[in-house]
Chains A and B, each alone.
Chain A
Amino acid sequence: MSEPMSAEEVLKRLQEALGEALLSHEVREYTMGVRRKRTYQELWIDIDPKAFKRAVEVIFELGYPHLHFIAGGDDGGDSLRMVYSFGLFWAVPWGELSVTVRFNLPKDNLVLPTITDLMPGAETNEREIREMLGVEFEGLKKKRHLFLPDDWPEGKYPWRKDEYGVEDMVKHTHKSVNEIRRGE
């Protein structure tokens, strides 16, 4: 395993490689422990979606990461908010640095490059995001549904909150009890 680097050093490498495309960053510190308090860091960055592949490549150059998850959120606006979380420098006590990459993906161009060429194990995550949010991954080989049935209607994505969502397919299950009582 590669030598652990601090969040600032990783951030510097990302800033050099991405330049203007790194929009903002945040280094968070968490103190853990009761009798022996120690701190570990997390790095959260916001980037331009065009620089996404380069950012992932930089992370893979620093050390082979562990992919924690790929998540996506839809608030009903014009873009999806994608979150990729990688764990770098694991295998060292207190050494893991979680690097979280966030970006807004415009809904009129929901295309992302796949990372399965770097990490074959990311396929499950990408296939889930593809069927739940409708993001197309360029270069993803297996595109069959993973969790949804094979006869699921085209253009319906369960996690979307716009017209591509499932609101018209389900009646009340997506509402909370309070919302139903208030007649919303």
Chain B
Amino acid sequence: MAKTQYYVPVGPIHPALKEPIRVEAKVEGERIVDVDVKRGFAHRGIEYMGMKRNAIQTLYLSERICGICSISHPYAFVIGSEKALGIEAPPRAQYIRTIIAELERIHSHLLWLGVVAHEMGFDSLLFWTWKGREKVLDILELLTGNRINYSVFMIGGVRRDIKESQAKAVRDMINYYRIFTEEMKDVFLADPVYKARTRGVAQLSKDMAKKLNVCGPVARAAGLRMDVRQDTPYDAYADIGVRAVVPQDIVGEARGDAYDITLVRIYEIEQSLDIIEFCLDNMPEGKLMAIPNYVALLAKIRRSEGEGIGMHEAPRGEVVHYFKYGNKRDGPLVWKVVAPSYNNINTWGSLLLGAEVADIPIVVAYIDPCMCCNDRLAVVRDENGRLIDPATLHRKAVEKTRKLRAELGVRE
């Protein structure tokens, strides 16, 4: 009997897919013979909005592209803008930026490790890793005042300093995570059950990874030594000499499967701790902003003409921002954003070809997809069901940060 082909749509509303994306699989029996991925369910046209605002407004708009990588987009933004406009950030600001970016990498990797445990049914592991993640979120709130959307970066510097008392709290956090990563190696990497569930799953060969243009931990797990912090260093990374973490250096070979991605991420947390420690030890003194006056900064942008590409190695892969300034405007004329998942989702098509329908959620989750285009609209109600206005929300946020600072013994 001839096999009939069917279409199986997965998403955008589906228990296995938490992100607004649709995978349309053409199946013959259980085998997938063709895949099409449809995106853009929450496309907000951020690039289009950015071309109509001034550069500082666009910088904070770029922070809203993604909630998890909320420093990655501003980082690529400021690097690209500084290249296009010819501004150099002061040394101390460069070190502070690097510290905050690495703190974000720790929290993003811990988040993914929890999610992957959840996808496999180990929910106690999920709670354990996310409990560990609270520590770094507290430190981020201590340094910036916010748990997400930190708003500390500025074209040509940063807006907040890291004081000596705050640096002490960061050092305590480093000690905490040194022990935590050792425990994670036991629980994830040495565990036979975890190994059995992840070895050979969602396997991506080195050649395939190169052709599909993937980046970040997905590329490194496949054995490609690709890391923006290593290839074109910027800020404090240029002093440190970061090396890409690849499985062949740790276990001898790279198979590019879900186990290798876990391995790369856990070792990258250790690398981040080393980087933060280096930055704290070698923090230069000096001012925080190249051009402290916003009006003067916007006037300089209005006079400038130029193009620049900013790249940052975000936790999930490289973020690229391309800018064109000029035409006497104080905002970008052309702004193009490429987020890591933009490239990494390419893997779904090839990994799913020939796989079975049941593999779809597994393959989807191991790549750590982030649509980066999720709606960032949130409605917050108080205990009586009334809407909270932005002013009250802001007051509550400030109160909470003060409470946290008092608990951690940091004077403002």
Contact = CB atoms under 8 A, between A and B. Distances in A.
Contact of B336 (A30, A38, A69, A94): A69
Interface stretch (B67-75, B231-239, B376-384, B395-403): B231-239
A159 B343 contact: no
A146 B38 contact: yes
Interface residues of A, number: 53
Interface of A: 1, 30, 32-38, 40, 42, 44, 64, 66-69, 71, 73, 75, 81, 83, 85, 87, 90-96, 98, 100, 119-124, 142, 144-149, 158-159, 173-176, 179
Contact of A158 (B45, B95, B343): B45
Interface stretch (B11-19, B208-216, B258-266): B208-216
21 contacts: A33-B238, A33-B239, A34-B94, A34-B95, A42-B309, A44-B307, A68-B320, A69-B320, A69-B322, A73-B324, A91-B226, A92-B231, A93-B241, A94-B231, A98-B309, A121-B346, A147-B40, A174-B52, A175-B52, A176-B52, A179-B52
Interface in B229-280: 230-236, 238-239, 241, 243-244
A63 B275 CA distance: 31
Interface of B: 36, 38-40, 43, 45, 47-49, 52-53, 83, 91, 94-95, 210-215, 224-226, 230-236, 238-239, 241, 243-244, 282, 284, 307, 309, 311, 318, 320, 322, 324, 327, 333-334, 336, 338, 342-343, 345-346
A20 B83 CA distance: 29
A33 B311 CA distance: 15
B212 A34 contact: no
A156 to B, nearest CB: 13
A119 B346 CA distance: 11
A120 B83 contact: no
A175 B152 CA distance: 27
Contact of B239 (A36, A44, A120): A36
B231 A90 contact: yes
Given A34-B284, A71-B322, 19 more contacts: A1-B225, A34-B95, A36-B239, A37-B238, A66-B213, A66-B215, A66-B226, A68-B318, A71-B336, A81-B334, A83-B334, A85-B309, A90-B231, A92-B231, A96-B231, A121-B212, A158-B45, A159-B48, A174-B52
